[in-house]
């Protein structure tokens, strides 16, 4: 007897165990996925990126529905979520582009050689980082070394965005003073 692919563990899941936000999200997906896909494709220019953005959009909608959000105009609400997702993906792609380069670094170095640094030039940075308060150190490392946006740093540190701006300003000042010594 051949196995029937449509019968498996998933077929035994009862509908009454499905979360209400999952049912609502499924309905939203069925009604709006094609339009959201087109929008994301237009914003990102890549089918793969657009598919990922659509998935993220509906996951964000699912989470919001789970928190009790009730959208007044569901289409506008989903498009705003998609807009934010696409914007975040473009920023992330831009940051990756600044860090990752497909070019041969040897060729770039021949054209525009970087300054030759002595190993001991950065010795003081460890001490300068160690001497600053923990929140400032975490904020500056997340922003400058990991390339996170102010909003992402705020989320990571669980503080407001204006608090992050203040932390990073003070951290830069502390770091500069520490390196001067």
Residue with tokens 């007044």: 72
**Could you read off the pLDDT of 54-83 as tens digits, one per residue?**
999 999 999 998 898 888 999 999 999 999
Query: CA-CA distance, 106 to 1, in Å (whole number)?
Result: 62
Whole-angstrom distance, CA of residue 52 vs CA of residue 143:
25
Cα 21 to chain center, whole Å?
A: 24
Cα gap 56→50, rounded to integer Å: 10
Question: With a threshold of 0.75, does the pTM exceed it?
Answer: no
141-157 pLDDT, tens per residue? 888 888 888 888 899 88
What tens digit of pLDDT does each residue of 77-120 get? 999 999 999 999 888 876 665 554 545 555 555 555 555 555 55
The predicted pLDDT at position 104 comes to 55
CA distance 130 to 180: 15
Token pair listed for 110: 């021949």
């Amino acid at each position: 007897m051949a196995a029937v692919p449509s019968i498996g563990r998933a077929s035994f899941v009862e509908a009454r165990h499905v979360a209400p936000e999952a049912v609502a999200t499924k309905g939203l997906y069925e009604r709006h996925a094609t339009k959201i896909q087109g929008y994301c494709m237009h914003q990102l220019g890549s089918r793969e990126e657009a598919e990922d953005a659509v998935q993220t959009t509906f996951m964000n909608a699912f989470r919001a529905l789970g928190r009790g959000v009730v959208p007044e105009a569901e289409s506008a609400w989903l498009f705003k979520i998609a807009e934010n997702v696409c914007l975040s993906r473009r920023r992330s792609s831009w940051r990756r582009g600044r860090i990752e380069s497909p070019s041969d670094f040897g060729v770039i170095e021949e054209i525009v050689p970087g300054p030759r640094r002595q190993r001991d030039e950065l010795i003081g940075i460890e001490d300068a980082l160690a001497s600053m308060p923990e929140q400032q150190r975490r904020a500056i490392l997340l922003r400058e070394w990991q390339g996170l946006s102010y909003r992402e740093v705020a989320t990571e540190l669980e503080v407001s965005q204006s608090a992050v701006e203040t932390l990073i300003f003070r951290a830069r000042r502390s770091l500069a003073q520490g390196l001067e010594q």
